[in-house]
Amino acid sequence: MSGTKAGSPHDPRGAERFNEERAAYTVARAQPNLEAGVESIRETVKVLKPIPGVYRMLDARGDVLYVGKARSLRARVTNYTQVKQLSGRLQRMVSQTRSMEIVTTNSEAEALLLEAQLIKRYRPPFNVLLRDDKSFPFILLRADHEFPRIHKHRGARRAKGNYYGPFASAGSVNTTLNALQKLFLLRSCTDSFFNNRDRPCLLYQIKRCSAPCVDRISEEDYDALVRQAKDFLAGKSSQVQADLEKQMAKAADELDFETAAILRDRLRAATFIQGSQAINASGVGDADVFALASKGGHVGVQAFFIRGGQNWGHRAFFPSHTKEVDEAQVLSNVMLQFYEEVPPPPTVLVDRDLPESELMEAALSELVEKKVRISIPQRGDRRKLLQQAQRNAVEALERRLAETGTKAKINRELAEFLELDAPPERIEVYDNSHIQGAKAVGAMVVASPEGFEKSQYRKFNIKEAQTNDDFAMMREVMQRRFTRAMKDDPDREKTRVWPDLVLVDGGKGQLSSVMEVLGELGIDDLPVIGIAKGPHHGREGREVFHFPDGREKMLPTNSPVLFYAQRLRDEVHRYVIGAHRAKRSKAIAASPLDEIPGIGPARKRALLLHFGTASKVRAAALEDLQRAPGVSDKVARQVYDFYHAGG
């Protein structure tokens, strides 16, 4: 008779001990181990060739720790096995490495671009990261219409036309765009709006459009305005102004004072655009300027965007994961990640020598298929521009540190008031929005010591709790959120999965719903607080903080911690109401015909055009449906059966 070895999983008496040993072994494998990391890298080196490419280091869970590029993959990756020559930061990285992924490229320049792309995608903890998830706005002058449209554009540059940018902010692009409309009278309306006009709109009345939609200007004259706009945005502003001055003088000589007044207003718009440039960039052409400042282990990078000799704004970046990384390398990484989103200009001015500067030039030139030059200006206007960028970098970093100090203090005081063990690194705030239970949406916003983490925001379309029950809706949101968290990271090792503090918009009822769900999931150590308006519904700013044990606390009306909590609550209000309105608008625009499976937009349009309304489609006989233009017998039968099934 065969026996069962004690301690095996088949022995009931030893099953518990076996599971404990297996869990301990699993934890030991997942924990940092320098020797294990080096061994996994050596295994990878065996199959590598001395060719260019990009490598990714992965931890035991398969998460990306680091992305790097190499001229020779074999030589570069082998360096990580020489532990004594590595910095403390790289040793920590190697100790967590359990596998690697390799992508070969045709050249080192191609590898450099791919490296920046993968860093932006995976955001590894051992790479310098450009902490900026905002896209940059451009001005787009379309080229796919006989009367081209000029408007603000964000996102992928797929439309045919000329793109001018980047602008540092929506405010700067809006100001410039308004002045350009006054200067060149180009239309900004959509094509559908343009095609359906029978009289000029308000923009024509306030002299910001030439009204090509109703033939107030010929195509030839409009083309002349478009050419002037292109010249102006390309840096030929003085030439455009000179032409306008000549036209104005001619109109005045001919006693055409109405035309002269219009040209005068256009000249003022041109002067406004040039006068609004806080930075003198004349003679620079198209260029970006980067300067770096560091203090107390923190780094700030200031960027100026110069196009056509005009300053189109500036932006400060504060990259993360910069400790133990050379400052020049930090600047290089920031620039590469920035240009992964924005096309580089022909000239890039920097305040220091960059590692592999020639390789960066080659990579950026390959990216835009034209020569890009990186240089350190030594004299003249470019040197003055760089010095101004350096001053701005220092000032921006000092402001950042001052703000961070204030935020850290408020975070500490918040932790003390809410009786947390430590200041929270990740705060999640929840709220719901609906109208009598209809189109219900839940939302989560996330805040960190650096501010709101908008890339982490989440919306929840309420699926089960369809009644007008706020508590049921909150239970559903929490059930989905933390069931997913337990699946993705049961051991709570990932900083972006589990919060340090959960704030719920509401009082005892909402808080009880949340605690009930967490109890069912076996989560009993997550700090959860409800924020409800006080007895006067927030008129005095006296929010009540509800604790799971039934206690209530309030803060003084002038407390910075109270203001911070209100900001968190207001942000989740803004986000969830926006999501609810979007869902409601989509529902309003929906058609009852959308419910019919297998019927596309073209067939729905044909049915509505023929019958007029969806209710008439529903009431139509099969023969009437078959006679509708563009509707086949099969589709007619499908529609008829959908509405008359079982009847």
pLDDT of residue 76: 94
Contact 577, 445 (CB under 8 A): no
Separation in Å, CA 455 to CA 134, 202, 445, 482: 10, 38, 9, 18
| CATH code reported for the domain at 427-587 | 3.30.420.340
Q: Average pLDDT in the 338-355 region? A: 91
Query: Which of 586, 596, 642, 623 minimizes the C-alpha distance to 604?
Result: 596
Please check the confidence at residue 490 and state whether its pLDDT lies above 90: no
Please check the confidence at residue 23 and state whether its pLDDT lies above 80: no
Instruction: Give the model confidence (pLDDT) of 631-645 as tens digits.
Output: 788 888 888 877 776
DSSP secondary structure letter of residue 424: -
Give the C-alpha separation, 318 to 331, whole Å. Answer: 11
SS3 state at 428? strand
Instruction: Give the model confidence (pLDDT) of 43-74 as tens digits.
Output: 999 999 999 999 999 998 888 999 999 999 99
pLDDT of residue 11: 47
Q: How many CA atoms lie within 13 A of 358 on its CB side?
A: 0
CA quadruple 246, 251, 255, 259: dihedral, nearest 10: -140
- Average pLDDT of the chain to the nearest whole number: 82
Contact 203, 188 (CB under 8 A): yes
Give the C-alpha separation, 96 to 38, whole Å. Answer: 10
Please check the confidence at residue 445 and state whether its pLDDT lies above 90: yes
How far does CA 377 lie from the centroid of its chain?
Answer: 33
Neighbours of 303 (CB within 10 A): 23
Q: Who contacts 393 (Cβ-Cβ below 8 Å, separation ≥6)? A: 291, 292, 293, 300, 301, 302, 316
Q: Who contacts 505 (Cβ-Cβ below 8 Å, separation ≥6)? A: 429, 430, 431, 530, 531, 532, 569, 572, 573
Fold of 287-400: Nucleotidyltransferase; domain 5 (3.30.420)
Give the C-alpha separation, 82 to 594, whole Å. Answer: 63
SS3 state at 489? coil
CATH superfamily of 592-644: 5' to 3' exonuclease, C-terminal subdomain (1.10.150.20)
Helices 170-184, 257-275: inter-axial angle, 10-degree rounding: 160
Instruction: Give the model confidence (pLDDT) of 145-202 as tens digits.
Output: 899 999 988 877 788 888 887 887 777 788 778 878 877 889 988 888 888 888 888 8
Domain ranges of the chain: 1-30, 36-122, 138-275, 287-400, 427-587, 592-644
Give the C-alpha separation, 108 to 92, whole Å. Answer: 27
pLDDT of residue 21: 47
Contact 166, 342 (CB under 8 A): yes
Give the C-alpha separation, 275 to 263, whole Å. Answer: 18
Quick check: do 287-400 and 427-587 share a fold? yes
The strand pairing partners of 102, in sequence order, are: 55
Q: Which residue intervals of 431-507 are DSSP H helices?
A: 470-488
Residue in the block written with tokens 């607080």: 529
* Positive/negative CA dihedral, 254, 256, 262, 265: positive
Query: Which of 526, 609, 565, 230 minimizes the C-alpha distance to 429?
Result: 565
- pTM beyond 0.85, yes or no: no
pLDDT of residue 354: 93
Contact 420, 529 (CB under 8 A): no
Q: Who contacts 524 (Cβ-Cβ below 8 Å, separation ≥6)? A: 518
Give the C-alpha separation, 175 to 190, whole Å. Answer: 20
Please check the confidence at residue 421 and state whether its pLDDT lies above 90: no
Architecture of domain 36-122: 3-Layer(aba) Sandwich (3.40)
Instruction: Give the model confidence (pLDDT) of 351-410 as tens digits.
Output: 999 998 999 999 999 988 899 999 999 988 889 889 999 999 999 999 888 877 788 889
Instruction: Give the model confidence (pLDDT) of 69-128 as tens digits.
Output: 999 999 999 999 998 889 888 999 999 999 999 999 999 999 999 999 999 889 899 999
